[in-house]
Copies of this chain bind each other. A is one copy, B any other.
Amino acid sequence: MKYIEIYEDIKNKILNGEYVAWKNLESESVLSQKYSVSRMTLRQAINKLKTEGYVHSRQGGNMYINPPEFYRNKLLQSLSEKEKNVTSKIISFEKILGTKEICEIFNRTKDSIFYKYERIRLIDSIPRMYELTYIPEELFPNFNEEVLKGSMLGYIEKKCGYKISHDLGKIQGILLDKKLAKYLKSKENQVALQIEHKVYLYKSVLAEYTKEIDISNTFDIAIVR
């Protein structure tokens, strides 16, 4: 897939500073010659860069490189992709019979089996978020505690070969209770963000339901027109 390679190449040049924020990109015709592809193929790469917030353009004008705050922090991006030195501390891990509520969320029959786990995610060894996750056993028959050391999104896509279609998020402010405060080494009644994720595969099959409590109390998001 040529356009993906071009997309990756330009993206990397933006990330490592070869292309500088606010400056303009070469024109489409120049770039298409440089990469030896048709203009339409190049435009596909540009399109992907645009929807992910790396560049922007306007009819008649040039294409411009966006600064980092325009493309950092996407919802459907694991913590380990956003931050370095991410480690996990597993609090619980069980195979359970789904409660009525969980079965309804996953749109599955009453006797469905789920994996349920809780973990603390640390950045530079400092607790950053608490995570409670449910996944259906049927989709992940070989799931085990070992996976929890890394990224769940990576496991779904790379190890299992599933393709993620959507992530539905719900963000709310909450006050830490005693249990959470202890886990996150913070104080009771501290304000934090709770982010619910519903990660869907093709045909809207729910693959993962996660509730995160983030003590950084900040969620950045960029929307591109």
Write the residues of chain A forming the contact surface with B, with a CB cutoff of 8 angstroms: 22, 47, 51, 53, 56, 58, 61, 64, 66-67, 69-70, 74-76, 163-175, 191-193, 202-204, 217-225
Contacts and interface: CB of A to CB of B under 8 A. Distances in A.
Contacts of A192: 173
A67 B206 CA distance: 13
| Identical chains in the assembly | 2
Contact of A222 (B167, B175, B217, B224): B167
Nearest to A75: B223
A153 to B, nearest CB: 10
Contacts of A223: 74-76, 166-167, 169
Given A165-B225, A202-B61, A204-B22, A170 B76 contact: no
Nearest to A191: B173
Contact of A193 (B69, B172, B221): B172
A193 B192 CA distance: 10
Nearest to A64: B203
A61 B61 CA distance: 38
Nearest to A59: B163
Contacts of A219: 170-172
Contacts of A217: 172-173
A66 B222 CA distance: 22
Most chain-B CB neighbours within 10 Å: which of A172, A174, A220?
A172
Given A51-B51, A53-B166, 10 more contacts: A56-B166, A64-B202, A166-B223, A171-B220, A172-B219, A173-B174, A173-B191, A173-B217, A174-B191, A191-B191
B170 A173 contact: no
Contacts of A167: 222-223
A173 B193 contact: yes
A70 B204 CA distance: 10
A32 to B, nearest CB: 17
22 contacts: A47-B47, A61-B203, A64-B204, A66-B166, A69-B168, A75-B223, A76-B223, A76-B225, A163-B225, A166-B222, A167-B222, A167-B223, A168-B222, A169-B220, A170-B218, A170-B219, A170-B221, A172-B193, A173-B192, A173-B217, A174-B191, A191-B191
